[in-house]
Structure 1
């Protein structure tokens, strides 16, 4: 039997809000404006705002306070992970709002009542019946304070990050147009599986939808915790708009290979499927022809779950050999980008499309425009050094994974290179996360965050 959330008797007048303070909050997901509000009942709320007010309806998460999930990392619910996923999605899009509504603990019944409900759940009662056995409503939340905050921010239409249709209906009734609603796809855990099933079966929550973490949670290294995978790649799995990710692997002194190309950098067999995970989460993987000539990698996804993306080779002069594996392996489509006057073989596999561009038009901006016209919005620029450097130089990378191998070459094929800084203030920087891949060290730069 489906139970529609009920509310306590509403007060005679809607709850109004007053903006009290504004500051800046740097977070692991970037820098947000943080605005503090007080409602007419005395409860304090905050809004985290990223980006400007242009460009249509922003991503919005109206997040109910949950001390156990948000602060303590509880796995009895998915609240903390939903909040993290919302901040990550807004960070990727570089525009959006999280309205953090206090007074919503335990769907509005309060912290201590929630703990009493937990105790009943420990005895086998589900989350709906636990509330009703305590004589409390299934859902006592109201959203007029959230609607008031959005109106204060000049927002009348939103793309709501929620799997709860009741939240959408409440905001719509309060005059906030919900032009889209989508879930955040956080992974289900053993500890919260029953709780999530109850929300779906008895509170009309969406039945999961596409699991954006599928490509993350099984891998070649079973001992790698799921949390690490989501932390490393979750933003890419949840990305809703265009995103360009760069990947470079180079020696400690900045070379991708010796001058002879052989031997190349030693491969690290314990890299936890890092590059293949990136491939599995994008629409297109792009390389320069020099990388194909050096490695003849077919750019497949065959060691982790997920599909091989469209393969894109930048080859202005047509140097790619006809027997290259990206041309002969039909596991995925290949776009071979060449200049207009370049001769290519007349007979190619059906999976290969030759795309001719005007001379000088194979620059990063034009290439991305071409891919987006084909609905290839999520792009991994995998190599080599010159190709990744071109996208970095053009300011088109949202993130960059730079993996350093503990060897010194002294001289060789350069890795990342771009126009140098003339003063310390011009040095390129961004928030960085680091993780170990076997013997290699990977530094992830987040260029979506203003410095």
Structure 2
């Protein structure tokens, strides 16, 4: 964690803060970094280390230890106004499971990958999880392992099966939005001052996910992290709503358990989803960073594993 936190993370946080300020950043703008915030690099005295051209680009030398982290996180930080971003994250075993058959999942991935997940939360406006994940893991969905703001927590609970005893509904650590199917009544025992309520229409018995994203964006939540579990991430993937996906693979075999991604299968392999990946080492785990909107061939990506921590 030392390299990321002490060297690269303050710079990444500064970029995120510049984005959230809401000011439009001109193409071609150069920025220096004073250790706390980005400053315009208008003079030679301020060495530019970032350039903005429809997105952030690092000007650091390849030998700079911060470069690999910027390479991974800058694509998630488009200056506003910009199209919203839906990022999905999932950690799984070599054989594609996110938990044992009994539901035990603490932790499939290693501690470095958990820090990375907290970084993703800090760079996101909100984090989405399904009711199954909250029931099984009772997650806090905060950024307690890194410096950065907690995202709004969005819990998909269409039929209101979760009790208020779950931590996200009680701890008050971050704004929490509970999403239920339109028409499902809210009983008085589930009312809480710590929870905002949102009703969303259903399609085929499932939440209308495009409508949900529209509601979140209307609330100013534009960078959206879909964190889990496998059913929820798979639903967004099957609906074609994911822009970028981080899949972390841990080097062990569960044998049988709760699956990660499951979407309808294409008849031919050439018709399967094949996003070009960038590959990173997170401790003992391997991260596949997949651009789901890219039309480049997967084979065109240099097969280099870059170590982040």
TM range (shorter): 0.7 to 0.9
Superposed counterparts of 1:323-334, under 5 Å = 323-334=165-176
| Deviations 1:55-100 (CA, angstroms, capped at 9, x unpaired) | xxxxxxxxxxxxxxxxxxxxxxxxxxxxxx9xxx9xxxxxxxxxxx
Superposed displacement of residue 271, structure 1:
2.6
Partner residue in 1 for 2:224: 379
- Matched with 2:156 is 314
| TM-score under structure 2 length normalisation | 0.73
Moved over 3 A (4+): 184-189, 193-201, 263-267, 342-349, 358-361
Q: Secondary structure at the match of 1:299?
A: coil
| Paired position in structure 2 for 1:303 | 145
Offset at residue 363 of structure 1 (A) = 2.7
Shift of 1:258: 1.3
Aligned counterpart, 1:444: 289
Q: How many residues align?
A: 255
Q: Describe the shift of the 1:239–1:257 C-alpha distance in structure 2 as closer, same or farther (beyond 3 A).
A: farther
The Cα RMSD (Å) is: 3.2
Distance apart, 1:408 and its partner CA:
1.4
User: Any unmatched runs of 5+ in structure 2?
Assistant: 1-14, 57-63, 297-309
Give the drift of 1:351: 3.2
Instruction: Name the structure 1 match of 2:248.
Output: 403
Q: What residue number does 1:388 align with?
A: 233
User: Separation in 2 of the partners of 1:275 and 1:356?
Assistant: 28
On the 8 A contact 2:32/2:39 being kept in 1, the answer is no
Q: 1:238 aligns with which of 78, 84, 94?
A: 78
Q: Following TM superposition, by how much is the alpha carbon of 1:295 offset from its aligned partner in structure 2, in angstroms?
A: 0.9
**Residue of structure 2 equivalent to 1:161:** 27
Deviation string 1:259-295 (CA, Å, 9 cap, x unpaired) is 2113654451233721111111111100111111111
Task: Report deviation, 1:227.
Answer: 1.7
The one of the two structures with greater contact order (alpha-carbon pairs below 8 A, sep at least 6) is: 2
Larger Rg: 1
Gaps (5+ residues) in structure 1?
1-84, 90-157, 164-183, 214-223
Q: Kindly state the Cα deviation for residue 384 of structure 1 after the two structures are TM-superposed.
A: 0.4
Q: What CA deviation, in whole Å up to 9, does each residue of 1:147-201 have, x standing for no partner?
A: xxxxxxxxxxx983144xxxxxxxxxxxxxxxxxxxx656458xxx999473699
Gap change, CA 1:383 and 1:195, over 3 Å in 2: closer
Is 1:289 equivalent to 2:131 in the alignment? Answer: yes
Change (3 A) 1:399 1:194: closer
- Equivalent position of 2:68 in the other structure: 228
Question: Secondary structure of the equivalent of 1:419?
Answer: coil
Task: State the SS of the aligned residue for 1:271.
Answer: helix
Q: Residue in 1 aligned with 2:193?
A: 350
